Each structure stands twice: as C-alpha cells, then as structure tokens.
Amino acid sequence: MTETSNIYRNNKNNPELDEKFMKEAIKQAKKALELGETPIGCVIVRDNKIYARGYNRRNTDHTTLGHAEINAIKKASAKFGDWRLEDCTLYVTLEPCQMCAGAIVQARIPRVVIGTMSPKSGCAGSLMNILECHLFNHSCEVRRNVLQKECAELMSLFFKNLRMSLKHQNQAHNPQLHP
C-alpha cells in the first residue's frame, strides 16, 4: 500500500460511510445540546473505526478550548500516543472555527468532513479557508454538507430556544414592560 493510499484509506469515496460517521458526530452534538451548549459534535475515525468523540463543552468547562474538535483531537492523540493524526478523518457537524481549523492542520489530519457551513465564523471556506491553505506544510481534503439539513436544524433549534429563553428572562426582569 502506498503512503497516499494509506492516508486516504478511510472512506474517501464512500458517501455512505461519511453519513454513518456524521450521524455519530450528530449524537455528540446532541450531548452538547443537553448541557445547554451550542450543539457541535465531532468524531475521529481511522480504518472505519471511531477512535475519539467530542462535543462542545465551552461553557461547562469554562474554557475557550472546549470546542468539539479540540476535545476529540485531545482524546485521539491520547489514544494513539501521538500528536500526529495522519491517517484519520475528522467529522464535525459545523464548519470549524479558526482555532479548531488550526489544530486540525497542526495535527496533520488529512481529511475533514463537515456537516453544515458557518457563514459568520467558519474557517474552512466561509470567512477564510485554513484547512485548504497550501501555504502551510499540511493541508486537508475537505468534504462539505454531509447530512447538512440535520446539522443545520440542530443549530437553528438551539438558537431558537436561546432566543425564547432570553425573551422570557427579559420579561421576568422587566415585568412593567410586559404587562
């Protein structure tokens, strides 16, 4: 097996497998939702097996480093005993931010599969494209919009609930404004 085929042995031309693993990332995103966190989930796969899972825990853990991808990368690195995740595919429900895209490139992950894009904060093609920037010594192959509808609905459900709870809070704090 050549080095290249070794790197890409995981799902490259298998949309069904991509959907299967994105479903697992969505399960992780739902864990974040249960904690009241923005619902973003991630899994890291090698040889068609999930080695690490992660979900957004930024508020719960009081750290800006608590994003789904960072949590999953930490777990995968611990499992493999290596910071390099060179033959893995990372699945994430939302387009990565600048921090996570940077960590993905640093970890030399060759392939990233994204659920839905994030036009206001994404750094895999929306605001900029860190994952496919060939100025770095590593760049990724990216597949976008896998189970896009499900991933986007999860986000809009979260923000809808957030807006409703903020509205209720405002009403509770300012009852004179809402007789």
Query: Per the residue annotation, which of 69, 86, 95, 141 is the catalytic one?
Result: 69
Q: How far is CA 40 from CA 9, 17, 31, 64, 91, in A?
A: 26, 20, 9, 14, 11
- Within residues 126-165, the interface with Zn ion by CB under 5 A covers none
Q: How far is the CB of 60 from Zn ion (least distance, A)?
A: 15
- Within residues 17-76, the interface with Zn ion by CB under 5 A covers 67
- Within residues 90-119, the interface with Zn ion by CB under 5 A covers 97, 99-100
Rounded Cα distance, 81 and 63, in Å: 24
Whether 37 is catalytic:
no
Q: Pattern 67-86, binding to Zn ion, x per CB under 5 A?
A: x-------------------
Q: How many residues bind Zn ion (CB under 5 A)?
A: 4
Q: How far is CA 96 from CA 74, 99, 130, 142, 163, in A?
A: 16, 8, 9, 11, 23
Which spans of this chain sit near Zn ion (rule: CB under 5 A)? 67, 97, 99-100
